[in-house]
Structure 1
Amino acid sequence: MAHPTTRRIGRGVITLLAVLVLIIGCGGGADTAPSPPAAPADPAVVSTATGAVRGVVAPDHRFFGGLPYAAPPTGPLRFEPPAPPASWGGVRDATRLGPRCIQDIGDLEMGRQTDEDCLRLNVWTPPVSNEKRPVMVWIHGGAFINGSSGIYDSRWMTTRGDVVVVTINYRLGALGFLAHPALGAPGAVGNYGLADQQAALRWVRDNIEEFGGDPDRVTIAGESAGGMSVCDHLVAPGSRDLFRGAIIQSGPCQAQLPLARAERISVDYARDVGCADPATAAACLRALPVNRLRDPVDYFRIGDDALSGPVTGTSVLPVDPMVAFAAGDAARVPVLIGSNRDEFTLFMALQYLRGQPLPASDYPRVLAQTFGADAAAVGDRYPLDRYGGSAPLAYSAAVTDGEFTCVDERIVGDLGRDAPVHAYEFTDRDPPMPAPFRTLPFPVGASHSLELRYLFDVGGAPALTPPQQVLSDHMIDYWSAFVRTGSPEVDGLPAWPEAKDGRRLSLAPDAVRVTDDFARVHQCDFWADLRR
């Protein structure tokens, strides 16, 4: 079955977000309690392993932006694992976000504020205290071709949740995932973006205590491509011991490419950019102007769309995470995982707004394009008349179930054998979104990425209604409790049980409740039969 996790997904999420944001002290004797460490003279200044930085101090939080966690991956370091950053003297300015990594050619900002020297991260902290706070490291989505750490203003999680939040950039597209065999030893090519994420986690381990964070309580989290990255870190050897909990939001974790296929595609990519000779391909690719590499390497397809992404069978990611999960070979840490009720409608909405509607007469064609030999069976399960004759809604339901929600359910079952797993479904079917999305002939509903507005201040969106604001507060409370303790249990809120016997928390305004019909609603038995 073809994977409908595509450039449309990356561009869809980033298009929507771009609309929303165009942005041990010394003790006394044995019976004497240790003295608390003295507060820093200037809470805006923090010393890291490579030098001091000056951030921004607000009444309820601190912010440090654009911190380098690796050397610029340029020149001879292009298509190499991340190298340690250089030290600096004096105090480095950390009051602004750093540049975005090089984006796909469809970047709405036309490449502005991008740079190949982009391996930076941002830190949001509560006010200075003697207490070490738990840490959430956020990995952005965007189909591994777009996106950046700067979209996710984390003040809400920091101020309400009382946790430290780190958001990271990582190399994207060809620069992050090209797997040409000339670029390294066998099995050591590709996954530069995934290795960047590991380098950022090591930076957190080594530096976060200086920002008031607890390096022994780090939770990795991400949505879409970021959620897929979290799945990879659960099984990647280089990620072990760098975190103690994981949050997977709308992660299509089955969309990994084996090394042999990635190498063939990468050789063709190199040929198309003028580096066809295997003997000189590595030097040629490293010498190209970076704009020649903005078009991402295409690994996963749906129709004419594709995305870049991690490569399995490599030194960074030896085993496909879905295979490792089934075999019980993942890190045994608490996991919070979930998906949205109507994941794929966002992409159909964007297609419609671009003047490319999906008429009912084209429904069989797009099913064949996406599901191949299984198209007829999928069409029987998702007939147009069940969706009011709307091909966008029928197609979205099929892709939502086959490639998001039932993958989520499969991961819950596999990981839940060995570690605590808590599952959710975001079900607010009238979330805030830009006005054009309310002019469509079909509802967008609780679609891909729309839960992010409840966790992060992405700005520019219509205000949450009072019930939605309550839901946002509840979600931040649940997420931050999980980051603190590995369990999303919050006094005064509905109990969130482990995901056993099909139980998961449904998140909607005025209706946070436990359900047990997720697999039935999303027809997961049907999709499991197709995989056999």
Structure 2
Amino acid sequence: MATVLVVALGRLVGASPGAAIPAILEPPSPVVPTPAPQSDTSLVQTASGTVRGQVEWDHRLFAGIPYAAPPVGPLRFRPPAPAPAWEGIRDATKPGSRCIQDPGADPEFGKQSDEDCLNLNVWTPAMKGAPRPVMVWIHGGSFTGGSGKIYDGRWLVSRGDVIVVTINYRLGTLGFLAHPALGPAGDVGNYGLQDQQAALRWVRDNIADFGGDPDKVTVAGESAGGMSVCDHLVAPGSKGLFRAAIIQSAPCGAQADLPTAEWHSVDYAAKVGCGDPKTAADCLRSLPLDKLREPVTFYNIGDDALAGPVTGSAALPVDPVTAIAQNEAARVPVLIGTNRDEFTLFVALQYLRFGEVYTSERYPELLRDTFGANAVAVGERYPLSDYGGNVPSAYSAAVTDGVFSCVNERMGDDLARVGPVYAYEFNDRNAPAPEAMRTLPFPVGASHSLELRFLFEIGGAEPLDPPQQKLSDQMLDYWSRFIADASPDAVGQPEWPAVGADGAGQPWMSLQPDGSRVVTDFDDSHQCAFWANLPG
């Protein structure tokens, strides 16, 4: 699975895959000092108890609110249980603990993480008013890293007059280990996915107390978070918990089936000392936490070894791409898109760590590792000569098209048969990127996760220039209008038509700092007909 920028940045400063630079850890404070609104706006009564949040001139923030019981002890490797009630007023001015991270890919360099991590953050407008529409944001990070606190939602809140909820969910082994001893047949793994469902139920039951409209909830995410959104479109336990969906940069076809996940999970358990199937469940639940920090992995995309939600299971009976193709997804409006150069981020990370991987002699091997029996056909379609002999550029283009762009194009066409679909491509090929990525011997362009800087205030990111700030404002308007109205049409912005059901010459919004525009050649520019005709 692809990782978001905040997870990937750290690879550029010597960490293993997935870490990020320290400057990103905490969002910056508002720069305009203004007296706080009336203090009573800082108190909200939830179903579990009262919370006191932080009130600023342009927003309110209620952070670290538990939406489920701590998944510890006998609750480890089980679906989330209801959050316990508390007495008095609970402080909600600081984010709660992050879920356990991959120790070699921690985006916040070891800052507090814990099993007791099922908490969320609610960003609201500063002043009360009519019930606002709500976006529930699911973070990316390869299902092994990241947290909700990285995403400062004040821009969407203040400019778009919506509510933003960012969540934590169990990651890595604790979130997705699918050992058959952990539950009834077929009902193992997917604990992290079920955490997300519990958070959506919490929003349904509590968001009105924060000024939100529980009937206008949009579930959204990027990368692993976007894959999660794909799952929620088809998961039985997610039905009715949202009325619209946003899928950003998600290779939704790359998920493990239950037999594969169980095999890898049994192997993992044996390696940590729980090899006896008769005692494996108790053994795994009683292990010291440090024994389970290394994430279980089920499959690979390029050089990334990944885990995540398991298909063919009770929680996720059918993989989302198949279900969507069979018109079995939730019939809700969808905003879906990718970045023009998705895979350059991962090639950059590997190049900086192992530069020799991308020699011309290795190109056929890279293609074989990624595309198997189709490697020769892919190599002929993406010859090095078309990219000036530059292996990183050729390989990035192939994986971008085959794993990201054309999967999203196909899903958009399929989803358009049952509901409105609005498709985009983020196409700022000079988007702010980490310094190390600006000195590579190939361009990174509009790489994976770089659009996030245009939607969220992410501390440590390079400032946007004036045309990019204009694009950011435009994207905020589009996203907030979709959250509010299930359509991205925004006053003063170019019209964004829906994808049709015929699958030919589809309109995609190309988001560019020199002027966003509708294009109809997305499938041609990413060679989607070629990918559609490759043997499965």
* Superposition TM-score, scaled by structure 2 size: 0.93
Residues 364-375 of structure 1: pairs in structure 2 closer than 5 A? 364-375=364-375
Q: Do the aligned partners of 2:5 and 2:450 also contact (CA within 8 Å) in 1?
A: no
Matched, 1:87 2:75: no
CA deviations on 1:104-158 (whole Å, 9 max, x unpaired) are: 1213444331111000000000023231000000000011011110110000000
Structure 2: gaps spanning 5 or more residues = 13-18, 27-36
Give the residue type in structure 1 aligned to 2:265. Answer: S
Q: Using a 3 Å threshold, how does the CA distance of structure 1 residues 465 and 90 change in structure 2: closer, same or farther? A: same
Residue 61 of structure 1 corresponds to: 59
TM-fit CA distance, 1:507: 0.2
Q: Do the aligned partners of 1:10 and 1:145 also contact (CA within 8 Å) in 2?
A: no
Residue 437 of structure 1 corresponds to: 437
Q: Which moved more, 1:286-295 or 1:44-53?
A: 286-295
Residues 195-234 of structure 1: pairs in structure 2 closer than 5 A? 195-234=194-233
Q: Do the aligned partners of 1:6 and 1:301 also contact (CA within 8 Å) in 2?
A: no
Give the residue type in structure 1 aligned to 2:194. Answer: A
CA deviations on 1:182-230 (whole Å, 9 max, x unpaired) are: 0000111000000000000000000000101000000000000000000
16, 21, 25: which one pairs with 1:22?
A: 25
Residue 406 of structure 1 corresponds to: 406
Residues 491-530 of structure 1: pairs in structure 2 closer than 5 A? 491-500=491-500, 501-530=505-534
CA deviations on 1:302-348 (whole Å, 9 max, x unpaired) are: 46531111101111111111111011011000000000000000111
Q: Using a 3 Å threshold, how does the CA distance of structure 1 residues 423 and 231 change in structure 2: closer, same or farther? A: same
Matched, 1:447 2:443: no
Matched, 1:72 2:75: no
TM-fit CA distance, 1:10: 9.4
Q: Do the aligned partners of 2:7 and 2:141 also contact (CA within 8 Å) in 1?
A: yes
Residue 45 of structure 1 corresponds to: 43
TM-fit CA distance, 1:361: 1.6
Residue 166 of structure 2 corresponds to: 167
Residue 32 of structure 1 corresponds to: none
Q: Do the aligned partners of 1:467 and 1:509 also contact (CA within 8 Å) in 2?
A: yes
Q: Which moved more, 1:363-372 or 1:220-229?
A: 363-372
- Cα distance in 2 for residues equivalent to 1:214 and 1:447: 34
- Cα distance in 2 for residues equivalent to 1:303 and 1:59: 45
Q: Using a 3 Å threshold, how does the CA distance of structure 1 residues 303 and 159 change in structure 2: closer, same or farther? A: closer
CA deviations on 1:383-412 (whole Å, 9 max, x unpaired) are: 111111110110000000000000000101
Q: Percent identity?
A: 64
Matched, 1:388 2:385: no
Structure 1: gaps spanning 5 or more residues = 24-38
Give the residue type in structure 1 aligned to 2:434. Answer: P
Secondary structure of the corresponding residue to residue 67 of structure 1 = strand
Matched, 1:151 2:150: yes
Superposition RMSD in Å = 1.7
CA deviations on 1:338-360 (whole Å, 9 max, x unpaired) are: 00000000111112222434112
5, 8, 31: which one pairs with 1:12?
A: 8
Secondary structure of the corresponding residue to residue 480 of structure 2 = helix
TM-fit CA distance, 1:18: 2.4
Q: Do the aligned partners of 1:489 and 1:496 also contact (CA within 8 Å) in 2?
A: yes
Residue 104 of structure 2 corresponds to: 106
Give the residue type in structure 1 aligned to 2:132. Answer: R
CA deviations on 1:259-315 (whole Å, 9 max, x unpaired) are: 111111111110111100000000000111111111111111146531111101111
- Cα distance in 1 for residues equivalent to 2:418 and 2:147: 33
- Cα distance in 2 for residues equivalent to 1:334 and 1:233: 13
Moved over 4 A (4+): 6-11, 13-17
Q: Do the aligned partners of 2:4 and 2:448 also contact (CA within 8 Å) in 1?
A: no
TM-fit CA distance, 1:445: 0.4
Residue 489 of structure 2 corresponds to: 489
Residues 257-272 of structure 1: pairs in structure 2 closer than 5 A? 257-272=256-271
Secondary structure of the corresponding residue to residue 230 of structure 2 = helix
Residue 33 of structure 1 corresponds to: none
Give the residue type in structure 2 aligned to 1:520. Answer: D
Matched, 1:363 2:367: no
* Superposition TM-score, scaled by structure 1 size: 0.94
Residue 470 of structure 1 corresponds to: 470
Residue 36 of structure 1 corresponds to: none
CA deviations on 1:430-474 (whole Å, 9 max, x unpaired) are: 011222211111111000000000000011111100000000000
